[in-house]
Amino acid sequence: MFSIFKKILILLLLPFIANAQSFKASIIAGVNASQVSGDELGGFNKAGVMFGGSTFLSVTPKSDVAMELLFIQKGSKTPTSKDNLNADYYKMSLNYLEVHFNYTYHASKKIGLHVGPTFGVLVGEKEEDIAGELTERPEFEKTELGVAGGLSFHFSEKVGLYMRLSNSLLPIRKMGADTRYFKSGQYNSGLAFFLTYTFSSKDKQKQ
C-alpha cells in the first residue's frame, strides 16, 4: 500500500518540480476536531493534531493551486471522559496520511477561499469503551476519498491562519443498509484550524 502511495505522490509532484522556480512551499501545523457520521454520536468532540507541508503555484494574480501532504488524526468520542466511569464512554481514533489538492481564490491580500479533493491512507486505528479496547468490530476502509474547503487569513506574506471543513465522500466503514441516495456506513467529518508558514518563495517574473 505504501509503495503504491509513494509512486502516486511522485507522479503528482512532477508538475511542481518542473516549475520549481515559481513555486512556494509552506509548513502546516494545527488541530482537527472531528466526528463520525453514522456512529450515533453528535458533535466535534474528538480532538487531534494535524501537520505537514504544502507546495503551491500561482495561476492568476488572484488564485493558486496547491498540494498538501498531511498527517491528520480523526475519529469520534463521547463528550464524557473515561475517568468519569461513564458506561456510555466511547472513543474512535483514526490516523491518516493524506494528500489534499486545493484551488484558492484570494478575495483580498489577506483573505482567501479554498476547496478541493482529498485522498487519505489509514495508518492507525483504535476503538475503546469503558472496558478497554474493542477488537471484534467491522473493519475500516484502508483509504478515504473526501472533499475539503474553508477560509484563510494571512497576517503577512509568510504567516497564515486557516479554517477548514472536511468530509468523506465514501464510507470509511460499511455498516447498516443502503438508502436510495446514499451508501450506508460511517463518514469522517472534520473542523480544522491550523497555521502555515511559507519558508521558500521564488518568482520567475522577478528574475
Q: Is the pLDDT of residue 122 over 50?
A: yes
Q: Please tell me the pTM assigned to this model.
A: 0.82
Question: What class does CATH assign to 26-206?
Answer: mainly beta
Q: Which residues have CB under 8 Å from 62's CB, separation 6+?
A: 105, 106, 107
Reported as a pLDDT band with limits 50, 70 and 90, residue 103 is: very high
Take residue 46 and report the three cell numbers written for it: 474528538
Reduce the DSSP state of residue 84 to 3 states and report it: helix
How far apart CA 189 and CA 192 sit, in angstroms, is 10
Lookup result for grid cell 479533493:
117
The reported pLDDT for the residue numbered 12 is: 52
Helix (H) or strand (E) holding 16: helix 2-18
Reported as a pLDDT band with limits 50, 70 and 90, residue 205 is: very low
How far apart CA 65 and CA 57 sit, in angstroms, is 6
Reported as half-sphere exposure (CB side, CA atoms, 13 A), residue 181 has a value of: 0
The reported pLDDT for the residue numbered 183 is: 57
DSSP strands (E only) in the chain: 23-37, 46-60, 63-77, 90-106, 111-129, 132-133, 143-154, 159-168, 187-201
Handedness of CA 42, 48, 52, 57 (dihedral sign): positive
How far apart CA 26 and CA 68 sit, in angstroms, is 9
Q: Is the pLDDT of residue 181 over 50?
A: no
More confident residue, 45 or 1: 45
State what percent of residues in the chain have pLDDT above 90.
55
Take residue 190 and report the three cell numbers written for it: 472534520
How far apart CA 154 and CA 162 sit, in angstroms, is 9
Reported as a pLDDT band with limits 50, 70 and 90, residue 199 is: confident
How far apart CA 117 and CA 58 sit, in angstroms, is 18
